[in-house]
Amino acid sequence: MEYTYYPGCSIKTSAKGYEESLFYVFKALNLTLNEIEDWNCCGATSYMSTKETISLVISARNLAKAEKKSSQDIVSPCSACYTILYKTNYIMKNNFIMREKVNQALRQDDLKYNLSLDVRHPLEVLVNDVGIKTISAKATRSLTGLKIAPYYGGQIVRPDRGLDDKDNPQMMDLLFKALGAENVYFPLKVQCCGGMLMTTYPELGLDLNRKILESAQENGAEAIITTCPLCQINLEAYQKKINKKFKTDFNIPVLFFTQALGLALGGSPKELGLNRALIPFELKENAAEGLK
Amino acid sequence: MTVNVKKIHIPGTLSKKEKKLRDSFLLQVKNIPGGESLKKCIQCGTCTGACPVSYMMDITPREVIALFRAGDIESILSSRTIWICASCYSCTVRCPQGVMVTDILYALKRLAIENKIFPKRFPVFALSKSFVSITNIFGRSYEPGLIILYFLRTNPFKLLGMMPLFIKLALKGRIGFLPHKIKSAKKFSRILKEAEVMENIVPLQES
């Protein structure tokens, strides 16, 4: 199967490991990703919340560019880009005035969005299009013994798109359970990481992430599994600062879900970008024995 | 912040400024798909309870709607609340009446920017502004540029505090030192110019 790929800015820099592992997983499952040519920033919430029409225009430019090439679904691995592109698509399809305004602006580059695409997150693509059964049949390494806290964050389940339960989503839980891992009790799995609040209001951002880390640690998680570059960096890179401020002792690896999945599909840590982690993660010996 | 009761006008006796704010806010709400659900708010406070950051807000999400109804949008705009919202949509999915709380807060943010009403020394707008200028120039985000621009606008000394993390990430190859400019940057800025025109078009009001 083929998909149009919208990477998003952070996956090319701070979340390189996400892209490396995403490519590995998709290749291993015979899926093709075709990157949108000359894509631009989706605008993120910073743009969306300050200039509505312009933000819709810049994110719709990507939809129009993708549509020009093919009618494949768009796969967007960053939860924030996913939310923005999904929302833009929704507004374009449902708000006539906005659609005309946006298309009028896009005409400056001979572009027009004809509403034919769907925007999707790779987690949902893997679970729904490929299926957990097929994935676990292709796994060459068991994750048995690995205790994980699957962290969905906010934007993948909210606003409600009917893909999964919005309070207790199961996509990652079921996927990793099938691969042998143990999902720990993790009530904060959809709690917000604060996003850019870590920069603009650190006092609050650090506190939000402390709560999430605390919930994972006290339930015995050896790693937190994320679906978004921003959640990943907030949870991983600020653990030292959080330890200092709240006198805690967090040192939990924070992986992208594709990295953990890639390990099960036989990828090496380097192929999956695990060497880029600030807090190193290693699969335990007994799990590695499952290698065929 | 305690709400100054004297400042609340009885609906129908709005000040000129408040009347203007109210009109443009209602216009913004009209643009949101499902925005008219605002009318259905029953003041139950589920939004405030669901919000992971409401404990740091000076006016809670429920109070935002109450203040709007009481005719005091100005107080909302000068609160930290609209800037603290992290866009997690917890309020929106939990609201029993289907009020699009997050989108309503967005509309209020835009109103605050339009009317240049900001809480004192609260930097979220500085970040948004920096983000918008970086995106407009390159077509993509450029993290080092964004962070530098942001701290220059707020507190340049804090830039030093970011250095250890910056170095750590750089060693792992997780910093894009040079910005990536999209190929059709010229056409992109033409699109932006036209979009700016579109942004300012006010649809005809129904009578």
Give the helix/strand (H/E) hosting B192.
Answer: helix B185-199
Asked whether residue B26 falls in the same domain as residue B93, the answer is yes
Q: Is residue B178 part of a domain?
A: yes
pLDDT on residue A285 = 59
CA-nearest residue to A50 within chain B is B110
Give residue A51's pLDDT band: very low, low, confident or very high (50, 70, 90): confident
Instruction: Read off the pLDDT of residues B96-120 as tens digits, 9 standing for 90 and up.
Output: 999 999 999 999 998 998 898 887 7
Asked if B56 lies within 8 A of A275 by C-beta distance, the reply is no
Which whole number is the average pLDDT over A80-86?
Answer: 94
Name which of A50, A57, A41, A51 is nearest A6 in CA terms. A41
Q: Distance from B76 to chain A by nearest Cα, in Å?
A: 16
Instruction: Read off the pLDDT of residues A240-288 as tens digits, 9 standing for 90 and up.
Output: 999 999 999 999 999 999 999 999 999 999 999 999 999 999 887 555 4
Asked whether residue B90 falls in the same domain as residue B172, the answer is no
Give residue B4's pLDDT band: very low, low, confident or very high (50, 70, 90): low
Number of independent structural domains in chain B: 2
* CATH number of the domain within which B97 lies: 1.10.1060
CA-nearest residue to B106 within chain A is A49
Asked whether residue A88 falls in the same domain as residue A200, the answer is no
Asked whether residue B107 falls in the same domain as residue B56, the answer is yes
d(CA A100, CA A115): 12
Which whole number is the average pLDDT over A181-205?
Answer: 93
Contact A281, A132 (CB under 8 A): no
Asked if B88 lies within 8 A of A40 by C-beta distance, the reply is no
* CATH number of the domain within which A187 lies: 3.40.50.11810
Asked whether residue A172 falls in the same domain as residue A230, the answer is yes
The last residue of a domain, from among A120, A148, A170: A120
Q: Distance from A194 to chain B by nearest Cα, in Å?
A: 6
pLDDT at B121 over 90: no
Give residue B129's pLDDT band: very low, low, confident or very high (50, 70, 90): confident
d(CA A17, CA A121): 17
Residue in this structure with the two tokens 């896009």, named with its chain if needed: A106
Q: A168 — contact with chain B (CB < 8 Å)?
A: no
Give the helix/strand (H/E) hosting A20.
Answer: helix A16-28
d(CA B178, CA B169): 15
Asked if A46 lies within 8 A of B184 by C-beta distance, the reply is no
The last residue of a domain, from among A63, A85, A120: A120
pLDDT on residue A154 = 86
pLDDT at B9 over 80: no
Q: Residue B6 has what DSSP assignment?
A: G
Give residue A48's pLDDT band: very low, low, confident or very high (50, 70, 90): confident
Percent of chain A scoring above 70 in pLDDT: 97
Higher-pLDDT residue of A199, B45:
B45
Asked whether residue B109 falls in the same domain as residue B134, the answer is no
Q: Is residue B204 part of a domain?
A: no
pLDDT at A17 over 60: yes
Give the helix/strand (H/E) hosting A254.
Answer: strand A254-256
* Helix, strand, coil percentages for chain B (3-state, nearest 5): 60, 0, 40
| Set of chain A residues whose Cβ sits within 8 Å of the Cβ of B145 | none
Q: Is residue B207 part of a domain?
A: no
Asked whether residue B53 falls in the same domain as residue B108, the answer is yes
Q: Is residue B205 part of a domain?
A: no
pLDDT at B155 over 90: no
d(CA B111, CA A54): 15
The last residue of a domain, from among B88, B114, B140: B114
Q: Distance from A150 to chain B by nearest Cα, in Å?
A: 18
CA-nearest residue to A211 within chain B is B52
Residue in this structure with the two tokens 């449902």, named with its chain if needed: A94
ipTM score of the complex?
0.85
Probe site for chain A from B174, B187, B196, B201 (most A CB atoms < 10 A):
B174
d(CA A11, CA A26): 16
Asked whether residue A140 falls in the same domain as residue A114, the answer is no
CA-nearest residue to A15 within chain B is B174
| Set of chain A residues whose Cβ sits within 8 Å of the Cβ of B108 | none
Q: A30 — contact with chain B (CB < 8 Å)?
A: no
Asked whether residue B147 falls in the same domain as residue B95, the answer is no
Q: A40 — contact with chain B (CB < 8 Å)?
A: yes
Asked whether residue B108 falls in the same domain as residue B136, the answer is no
Asked if A45 lies within 8 A of B113 by C-beta distance, the reply is no
Asked if B52 lies within 8 A of A191 by C-beta distance, the reply is yes
Q: Where do runs of H (alpha helix) occur along A95-170? A: 96-106, 122-125, 132-138
What range does the domain containing A29 cover?
Answer: 2-120
Percent of chain B scoring above 90 in pLDDT: 52
What range does the domain containing B19 cover?
Answer: 5-114
Asked whether residue B190 falls in the same domain as residue B138, the answer is yes
Asked whether residue A175 falls in the same domain as residue A279, the answer is yes
The last residue of a domain, from among B60, B80, B114: B114
Q: Is residue A260 part of a domain?
A: yes
The last residue of a domain, from among B62, B95, B114: B114
Contact A222, A250 (CB under 8 A): no
